[in-house]
Structure 1
Amino acid sequence: MNKTFSISSLVRPNVASMQAYSSARDEFTDFDKEMIFLDANENPFENGVNRYPDPQQRTLKSLIAAQRNISESQLLLGNGSDEVLDLIFRTFCIPGKDEIITVPPTYGMYKVLAGTNDIKNTEVLLNQDFQLNTAGILAAINEHTKLIFICSPNNPTGNVIDAAPIIEILETFKGLVILDEAYIDFATTESWSKQLSQYPNLIITQTLSKAYGLAGIRLGLCIASDEIITVLNKIKPPYNVNALTQERAYNRLMQTETIDTEINTLLENRAALSKVLQEVPFVKEIFPSDANFILARVDDANERYKQLIALGIVVRNRSTQPLCENTLRFTVGTTVENTQLINALNTLE
């Protein structure tokens, strides 16, 4: 456990002194009781969405917390995980003063959000095996470093980041470690959410866009200590998760057997796709994956990307990322889609 960690020393002073906005629905909590709502200046004519949604997403949050074995007070929901990440920046980082550390190649929004919020981003490259350069990260920390972002399983490389260096950083760093678990449902390792009581400076972000098939409704999760969630709620917009998203997410999360079946199918398809990709002549290297995609090094990524586009297949060219020269990222599709991809690759010269 990090005994030197203090959340009060990290929160921006202006945020620390704020009171969270209290909407009309925040002040009324007895949703089981029939009431006449004349408090929020809504259109009273019922059409299914004429009322504001529950700003605290109580019903949905209760289900998610139960499924993840955490308390509702350890959970914040956002309009996609990108909103969650932005809330973290705006809660803890003073523009023009504070800094973050990222570990490329990794998810690009950390860098974008740092730029948007005028926060210096120090990049410490992963090692050649796409694991953390722990010594480099610890050496890069200074008095202004507030946040360290780690994606595991990592995007675009697909691998799970080893636990030991993450623990070392958590126990050493006086700031916050944000562990992005967007792809955790495809990995054999467990979520770090079980470690919250051990590491008060840990924030976990997750999404329903990948394994749960809800990319279109934009719902992200932030899992952290009660204390951190309370502070984040101070600046959370009051109705950031709309009623349609809350309803659709709840219904989908109740379909546990279907979700498990889809995940298992994608894992089988990932293994099959990885095997056949190795037989494509211009594929030079296949990187192990714990996500729903495969990173492959090819002879000429720019050319192969263009050729696939011409054949109606869109993949991701990751060649501009450090350590990813001439790499393409292939999302694992259905059996039919994967077959069409391989057939297309085998036609290329």
Structure 2
Amino acid sequence: MYEQRACVCDVSVVRVPLKSDFQLDMETMLKEACRPDVKIIFLCSPGNPTAVSLNIDDVISLLDSAYKGIVFLDELYIDFSGKESLARLVDKYPRLIVLQSLSKSFGLAGIRFGWSIAHEDIVFHFDKIRLPYNIGALSYSAALKALDHVDDMKTMTQQVLLERDRLADALRQIKEVKKVFPSEANFLMFQVDNALKVQEIMRQKGVYVSYKGNCLHFDDCLRISICTTKERETVLTVIRESCIEAKV
């Protein structure tokens, strides 16, 4: 999405692919991304679709490097990772911006509410360019109500983590599933033959998954959001049937 927005604004993009373990290629980052003409480096931890948290030491190495631009860290899935947010570092590193949201762990994607945590100098410039009344009253009210129930969010998040582990274990028992990737998010990536065809068959059966075979390191992979306990067996049955039907 960051690349799409950049292209809409006619801003050029420098891509630095992640390594096969979904960590930063620091040698290439320092050489290709940390240039004077690169104004912002976008990082995502845990990543989408990687579902893996970046090595904190690598992020700090970027902040400690000679690079003078902004390091923007997307932490939308942080509550599922068990990792500590790097928002605590914004005073030490004034070039760091951390993004969080109510869309994931709070389950409130519909209100489109997120926030940046940044040094006051950056916030000053944000305030100069943001639209007046950029947050609608209904979303604002819903967000405040949600933030009064952080303990409930943590309880629900723990339930998601339990279901994630159960779903991952169950997927590994399906012989047609070649690989289930580790996850620190509220979704799983799994690999099957004919993934695009499997996705379409699953859609016809009423189970929607996202095809990620066009992403680096994810050949023939599908992404599935963590479902409820009641939904799990139905989803697993649909996956089994779809994989078998895709062979025909």
Q: Fold-level match, TM-score > 0.5?
A: yes
**Superimposed CA distance per residue, residues 251-285 of structure 1 (whole angstroms, 9 cap, x where no aligned partner):** 12212332122111101000101100111122111
- Deviation, 1:243, is 0.7
Amino acid at match of 1:117: C
Q: Write the distance in 2 (CA, Å) between the matches of 1:268 and 1:284.
A: 22
Where does 1:115-130 land on structure 2 (aligned, <5 Å)? 115-130=7-22
Three-state SS of the structure 2 residue aligned to 1:285 is strand
Q: Write the distance in 2 (CA, Å) between the matches of 1:257 and 1:174.
A: 38
Please say if residues 72 and 98 of structure 2, whose CA atoms lie closer than 8 Å, have aligned partners that are also in contact.
yes
1:227 and 2:117 matched: no
Could you say which residue in structure 2 is the equivalent of 1:81? none
Where does 1:168-187 land on structure 2 (aligned, <5 Å)? 168-172=61-65, 173-187=67-81
2:203 aligns with one of 305, 309, 312? 309
Where does 1:287-298 land on structure 2 (aligned, <5 Å)? 287-298=181-192
Q: Tell me which structure has the larger Cα radius of gyration.
A: 1
Three-state SS of the structure 2 residue aligned to 1:294 is strand
Could you say which residue in structure 2 is the equivalent of 1:213? 107
Where does 1:180-195 land on structure 2 (aligned, <5 Å)? 180-195=74-89
- Deviation, 1:346, is 2.1
Q: Write the distance in 2 (CA, Å) between the matches of 1:240 and 1:247.
A: 14
Three-state SS of the structure 1 residue aligned to 2:39 is strand
Where does 1:74-113 land on structure 2 (aligned, <5 Å)? 109-113=1-5
Could you say which residue in structure 1 is the equivalent of 2:25? 133
Q: Structure 1 pair 346/189, CA: closer, same or farther in 2 (3 Å)?
A: same
**Superimposed CA distance per residue, residues 102-143 of structure 1 (whole angstroms, 9 cap, x where no aligned partner):** xxxxxxx11101101111111111001111001111111322
Q: Write the distance in 2 (CA, Å) between the matches of 1:243 and 1:341.
A: 38
Three-state SS of the structure 2 residue aligned to 1:346 is helix
Q: Structure 1: where are the runs of 5+ without partners?
A: 1-108
**Runs (4+) off by over 3 Å:** none
Amino acid at match of 2:37: H
Where does 1:203-282 land on structure 2 (aligned, <5 Å)? 203-282=97-176
**Superimposed CA distance per residue, residues 77-112 of structure 1 (whole angstroms, 9 cap, x where no aligned partner):** xxxxxxxxxxxxxxxxxxxxxxxxxxxxxxxx1110
Q: Write the distance in 2 (CA, Å) between the matches of 1:134 and 1:286.
A: 26
- Deviation, 1:250, is 1.0
Amino acid at match of 1:281: K
**Superimposed CA distance per residue, residues 8-29 of structure 1 (whole angstroms, 9 cap, x where no aligned partner):** xxxxxxxxxxxxxxxxxxxxxx
Please say if residues 176 and 240 of structure 2, whose CA atoms lie closer than 8 Å, have aligned partners that are also in contact.
no
Could you say which residue in structure 1 is the equivalent of 2:55? 162
Amino acid at match of 1:312: G
Three-state SS of the structure 2 residue aligned to 1:145 is coil
Amino acid at match of 2:177: V
Amino acid at match of 1:180: D
1:143 and 2:32 matched: no
**Superimposed CA distance per residue, residues 238-259 of structure 1 (whole angstroms, 9 cap, x where no aligned partner):** 1110111111111122123321
Three-state SS of the structure 2 residue aligned to 1:142 is coil
Q: Structure 2: where are the runs of 5+ without partners?
A: none
**Superimposed CA distance per residue, residues 17-73 of structure 1 (whole angstroms, 9 cap, x where no aligned partner):** xxxxxxxxxxxxxxxxxxxxxxxxxxxxxxxxxxxxxxxxxxxxxxxxxxxxxxxxx
Q: Write the distance in 2 (CA, Å) between the matches of 1:300 and 1:164.
A: 38
Q: Structure 1 pair 167/257, CA: closer, same or farther in 2 (3 Å)?
A: closer
Three-state SS of the structure 2 residue aligned to 1:121 is coil
Q: Write the distance in 2 (CA, Å) between the matches of 1:346 and 1:323.
A: 23
**Superimposed CA distance per residue, residues 188-214 of structure 1 (whole angstroms, 9 cap, x where no aligned partner):** 110001111221111001111110111
Aligned residue-pair number: 241
Three-state SS of the structure 2 residue aligned to 1:148 is strand
Q: Write the distance in 1 (CA, Å) between the matches of 2:171 and 2:35.
A: 44
Choose between structure 1 and 2 for higher RCO, CA contacts under 8 A separated by at least 6 residues.
1
Amino acid at match of 2:24: L
Q: Write the distance in 2 (CA, Å) between the matches of 1:282 and 1:136.
A: 36
Q: TM-score, normalised by structure 2?
A: 0.94
Amino acid at match of 1:303: K
Q: Write the distance in 2 (CA, Å) between the matches of 1:242 and 1:339.
A: 39
Q: Write the distance in 1 (CA, Å) between the matches of 2:232 and 2:120.
A: 43
